């Protein structure tokens, strides 16, 4: 399958979806960006611009729409919407599905694949994790603010399918650091161990990751949050590496000090929050499994007044 016949739709072409979609489009993949509001207006008028240490680029014209029904059947849907929009987005995906279409859930938490499968059928669902610090600088402009950008994805049953291989080939052709995982659940939870802690602590302290990692009290809170998520995952039966805490803590320490979690960015912008699916998930699963989660439960409670923006 050549890039020109391999069709990809990026549903939720914000900072993260826009970045990966732009990389694919720049390398010749047929990409349609599904966005909305001022961001979509800017993409239509001046293209989609990416500013990145890996090279700036502008996709102009960029195929874009706010209506999935206009796109037609595609080979892969990269689902990049916020966690609270997964269920409603799933309802809109059907016009883009054909036999064999893969819908790759690439959200921050661990529950998106199951939410998606309940609506469109498990046979279409793939899962994965994205590692990239990115934000929308202004409508139509994405700022990649770090030295890494990685995509890990795969089939829920662990098989190495043709569609997963085709997506991997497209990513690699675009110069994207990508790999196929044979254990999506482990991949999601591995990121969740550090992501849940970064989101929780930066949001509750209203600041970037640098001060959190340097201050002894905030760092202790961060470490406790990581430990809680790891403990919940292990009791739930997720296969996690023995050294996951050390490797994920090292990753957090490598983050640029000015990095803010998307949860904090949304909090500062007065937008809806994903906290229900982050610290809220750790707290809820901890209660169900008998695992104490005092840090995540407290931070979840502290952020609840802002959940709806």
The yes-or-no verdict on residue 261 having pLDDT over 60 is yes
Residue 227 included in any domain: yes
End position of a domain, from candidates 154, 182, 210: 182
The answer on 103 and 75 residing in a single domain is yes
End position of a domain, from candidates 182, 215, 243: 182
The answer on 171 and 31 residing in a single domain is yes
Q: What is the pTM of this model?
A: 0.91
The yes-or-no verdict on residue 4 having pLDDT over 70 is no
Q: What is the mean pLDDT of residues 2-17?
A: 86
The answer on 231 and 115 residing in a single domain is no
Residue 71 included in any domain: yes
Number of folded domains in the chain?
2
The yes-or-no verdict on residue 2 having pLDDT over 60 is no
User: Contact at 8 Å (CB) between 158 and 186?
Assistant: no
Tokens standing for residue 6: 């391999």
The yes-or-no verdict on residue 3 having pLDDT over 80 is no
Residue 1 included in any domain: no
Tens-place pLDDT, residues 174-207 = 999 999 999 999 999 999 999 999 999 999 999 9
The answer on 58 and 72 residing in a single domain is yes
The answer on 215 and 144 residing in a single domain is no
Tens-place pLDDT, residues 43-87 = 999 999 999 999 999 999 999 999 999 999 999 999 999 999 999
User: Contact at 8 Å (CB) between 252 and 222?
Assistant: yes
The answer on 201 and 70 residing in a single domain is no
Residue 2 included in any domain: no
Q: What is the mean pLDDT of residues 113-133?
A: 95
Residue 136 included in any domain: yes
Q: In the chain, what is the straight-line distance between the N-terminal and C-terminal CA atoms, in Å?
A: 44
The answer on 175 and 74 residing in a single domain is yes
Per-residue pLDDT at 1:
45
Per-residue pLDDT at 256:
86
Which CATH number do you get for residue 150? 3.40.50.720
Which CATH number do you get for residue 238? 1.10.1040.10
Burial class (CB in 10 A: 0-12, 13-18, 19+), 202: buried
The answer on 176 and 27 residing in a single domain is yes
Q: Which domain holds residue 272?
A: 186-306
HSE-CB of 134 using CA atoms within 13 angstroms: 26
């Amino acid at each position: 399958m050549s890039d020109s016949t391999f069709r990809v739709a990026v549903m939720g072409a914000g900072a993260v979806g826009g970045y990966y979609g732009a990389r694919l489009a720049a390398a010749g993949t047929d990409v349609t960006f599904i966005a909305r509001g001022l961001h979509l207006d800017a993409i239509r008028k001046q293209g989609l611009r990416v500013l990145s240490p890996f090279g700036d680029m502008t996709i102009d014209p960029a195929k874009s729409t706010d209506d999935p029904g206009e796109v037609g059947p595609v080979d892969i849907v990269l689902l990049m919407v916020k966690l609270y929009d997964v269920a409603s987005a799933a309802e809109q995906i059907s016009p883009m599905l054909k036999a064999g279409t893969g819908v790759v859930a690439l959200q921050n938490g661990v529950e998106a694949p199951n939410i998606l499968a309940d609506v469109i059928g498990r046979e279409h669902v793939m899962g994965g994790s994205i590692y990239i610090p990115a934000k929308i600088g202004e409508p139509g402009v994405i700022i990649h603010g770090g030295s890494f950008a990685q995509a890990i994805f795969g089939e829920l049953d662990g098989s190495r399918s043709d569609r997963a291989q085709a997506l991997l080939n497209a990513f690699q052709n675009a110069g994207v650091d990508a790999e196929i995982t044979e254990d999506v659940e482990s991949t999601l939870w591995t990121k969740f161990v550090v992501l849940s802690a970064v989101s929780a602590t930066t949001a509750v302290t209203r600041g970037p990751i640098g001060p959190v990692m340097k201050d002894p009290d905030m760092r202790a809170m961060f470490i406790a949050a990581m430990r809680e998520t790891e403990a919940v995952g292990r009791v739930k039966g997720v296969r996690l590496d023995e050294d996951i805490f050390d490797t994920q803590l090292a990753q957090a320490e490598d983050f640029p000090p000015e990095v803010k979690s998307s949860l904090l960015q949304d909090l500062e912008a007065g937008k809806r929050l994903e906290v229900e699916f982050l610290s809220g998930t750790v707290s809820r699963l901890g209660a169900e499994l008998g695992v104490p989660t005092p840090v995540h439960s407290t931070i979840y409670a502290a952020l609840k007044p802002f959940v709806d923006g």
